[in-house]
């Protein structure tokens, strides 16, 4: 077991556990939002499927309209129309025009269009007050070319990508099964909301903030309830959890006599590391039980959320083969001081905003027990070991992707 490692080393060790291959399932487009593609998608069509017009107006031959102006309009004979979806069957000859509407194919013989605003219709004729031009013709395949790959395995299906998959002609998509993530709370003092709170009790908030975080990362949370701080009950729950891709425990990984998660995993499983040089979340633990990776998150509400965000989320991204990074760093000017910690990388909670430049303020108390900071904040302020941030300094910030 390794201990007292850096954030970077810890992340590497966590990602190395994301070896499994998630099964692939097929879903209709209307259920695919937020899923992760398990196949490369080749466009089945050209889009547009032929040269079409980007504007409402008239299609004609450019050379017939050269020099047209307000004072010297050109007069063309209108031989038909081409609404979108109902192409004009004939051919545009010299001195002729066809009324076209956005998305309609350019009729044969025409090589230019003029917008309706620069024309006046007079019965079977149209007056052009400007030359027609090819610039408003969208060439065939302008957006998509048949046979080209536009979406890849590992791409998160965002609204734009869902539309793109539809435009490419796919009614159903192969996606990875959502990773199943067990959530187990530990602690004699932990009580479900709705129950009376005994003296010294605390409501189980971790299970629900983790539930949200798991869903946001594309996982399917499996709530396993809570266990008392007794090795036997912890083990029973772990073994009865059913098929999971990751197990999250909260609490019981600190130094205390009752921190049984660590003790149980040390004997029944295999601890990969315990303790990371960071704050909050220092007591984080990574273990395996059978083939199941387990992230032992500290019990403090802020610590469990921050460690999931920093390690659990990247793990789930890797498992889903996601091509986008689990988080991105930005730089912001601090408007309130942030305190660092000796020998530890620090993740404070801040409110990031744009005020001519990116700026960040504290959410208030930065204690690991103050869950409000995670509800108020939209970014983590990252401080390297042994460094405070004074007002006016620039710091690294990581937007909390589930609120930004
Ligand atoms: P532990 O890591 O077990 O030492 O717990 C650290 C702190 O987090 C203690 O104050 C616990 O009461 C609190 N805590 C542990 N589990 C939870 C939970 N599921 N929900 C809210 N607070 C918790
Ligand atoms: Mg505890």
pLDDT given at position 318: 98
Cα(214) to ligand 2 centroid in Å equals 22
Ligand 2 ion: Cβ-proximal residues, 5 Å cutoff: 187, 251-252, 299
**What is the token pair recorded at 238?**
């772990």
**Residue of 227, 237, 250 with the most ligand 1 atoms within 8 Å of its CB, for mutation:** 250
Which residue CA neighbors atom 7 of ligand 1 most closely?
Answer: 300
pLDDT tens, per residue, the chain with 404 residues: 999 999 999 999 999 999 989 999 999 999 999 999 999 999 999 999 999 999 999 999 999 999 999 999 999 999 999 988 889 999 999 999 999 999 999 999 999 999 999 999 999 999 999 999 999 999 999 999 999 999 999 999 999 999 999 999 999 999 999 999 999 999 999 999 999 999 999 999 999 999 999 999 999 999 999 999 998 888 888 888 889 999 999 999 988 887 889 989 999 999 999 999 999 999 999 999 989 999 999 999 999 999 999 999 999 999 999 999 999 999 999 999 999 999 999 999 999 999 999 999 999 999 999 999 999 999 999 999 999 999 999 999 999 987 76
CA distance linking residue 278 with residue 167, whole number of Å: 46
Ligand nearest to C-alpha 229: 2
**Residue of 183, 202, 208, 370 with the most ligand 1 atoms within 8 Å of its CB, for mutation:** 202
Cα(299) to ligand 1 centroid in Å equals 4
Count CB atoms within 10 A of the CB of residue 31: 11
pLDDT given at position 238: 82
Ligand nearest to C-alpha 204: 1
Cα(294) to ligand 2 centroid in Å equals 17
CA distance linking residue 155 with residue 178, whole number of Å: 14
Dihedral sign of CA atoms 397, 401, 402, 404 in order = positive
Q: Which residues contact 322 (CB under 8 A, 6 or more apart)?
A: 36, 154, 155, 156, 218
Ligand 1 atom closest to residue 185's alpha carbon, by position in its atom list = 19
Place of tokens 């005020």: 355
Ligand 1 atom closest to residue 259's alpha carbon, by position in its atom list = 3
CA distance linking residue 18 with residue 398, whole number of Å: 23
Q: How many residues in the chain?
A: 404
CA distance linking residue 269 with residue 262, whole number of Å: 10
Could you tell me if the CB of 202 is within 6 A of ligand 1?
Answer: yes
CA distance linking residue 171 with residue 191, whole number of Å: 46
Ligand 1 atom closest to residue 256's alpha carbon, by position in its atom list = 4
Could you tell me if the CB of 184 is within 6 A of ligand 1?
Answer: no
**Residue of 299, 303, 369, 372 with the most ligand 1 atoms within 8 Å of its CB, for mutation:** 299
Cα(276) to ligand 2 centroid in Å equals 18
Evaluate whether 333 touches 394 at the Cβ level (below 8 Å).
yes
* Phi, then psi, of 264 in degrees rounded to 5: -65, -45
pLDDT given at position 24: 98
Could you tell me if the CB of 189 is within 6 A of ligand 1?
Answer: yes
Could you tell me if the CB of 1 is within 6 A of ligand 1?
Answer: no
Place of tokens 């103050």: 370
Which residue CA neighbors atom 14 of ligand 1 most closely?
Answer: 299
Place of tokens 């990031």: 352
Could you tell me if the CB of 187 is within 6 A of ligand 1?
Answer: yes
């Amino acid at each position: 077991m390794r201990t007292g490692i850096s954030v970077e080393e810890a992340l590497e060790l966590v990602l190395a556990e994301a070896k499994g291959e998630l099964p692939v399932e097929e879903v209709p487009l209307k259920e695919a939002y937020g899923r992760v593609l398990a196949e490369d998608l080749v466009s089945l069509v050209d889009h547009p499927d032929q040269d079409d017009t980007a504007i409402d107006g008239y299609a004609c031959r450019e050379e017939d309209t050269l020099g047209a102006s307000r004072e010297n309009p050109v007069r063309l004979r209108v031989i038909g129309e081409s609404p979108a979806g109902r192409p004009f069957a004939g051919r545009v000859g010299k001195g002729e025009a066809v009324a076209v509407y956005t998305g309609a194919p350019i009729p044969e013989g025409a090589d230019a269009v003029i917008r309706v605003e620069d024309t006046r219709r007079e019965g079977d004729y149209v007056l052009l007050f400007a030359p027609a031009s090819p610039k408003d013709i969208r060439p065939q395949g302008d957006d998509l070319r048949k046979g080209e790959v536009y979406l890849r395995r590992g791409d998160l299906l965002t609204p734009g990508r869902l539309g793109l998959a539809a435009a490419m002609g796919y009614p159903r998509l192969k996606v990875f099964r959502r990773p199943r993530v067990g959530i187990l709370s530990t602690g004699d003092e932990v009580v479900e909301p709705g129950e009376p709170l005994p003296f010294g009790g605390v409501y189980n908030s971790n299970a629900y903030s983790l539930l949200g975080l798991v869903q946001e990362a594309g996982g399917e949370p499996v709530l396993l309830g809570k266990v008392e701080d007794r090795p036997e009950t912890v083990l029973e729950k772990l073994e009865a959890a059913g098929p999971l891709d990751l197990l999250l425990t909260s609490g019981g990984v600190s130094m205390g006599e009752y921190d049984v998660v660590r003790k149980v995993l040390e004997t029944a499983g295999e601890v990969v590391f315990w303790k990371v040089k960071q704050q909050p979340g220092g007591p984080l633990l990574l273990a395996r039980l059978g083939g199941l990776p387990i992230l032992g998150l500290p019990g403090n509400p802020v610590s469990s959320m921050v460690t999931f965000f920093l390690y659990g989320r990247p793990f789930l991204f890797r498992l889903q083969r996601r091509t986008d990074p689990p988080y991105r760093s930005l730089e912001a000017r601090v408007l309130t001081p942030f305190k660092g910690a000796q020998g530890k990388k620090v993740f404070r909670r801040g409110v990031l905003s744009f005020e001519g430049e990116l700026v960040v303020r504290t959410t208030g108390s930065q204690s690991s027990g103050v869950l409000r900071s995670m509800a108020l904040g939209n970014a983590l302020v990252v401080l390297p070991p042994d460094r405070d941030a004074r007002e006016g300094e620039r710091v690294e910030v990581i937007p909390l992707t589930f609120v930004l």
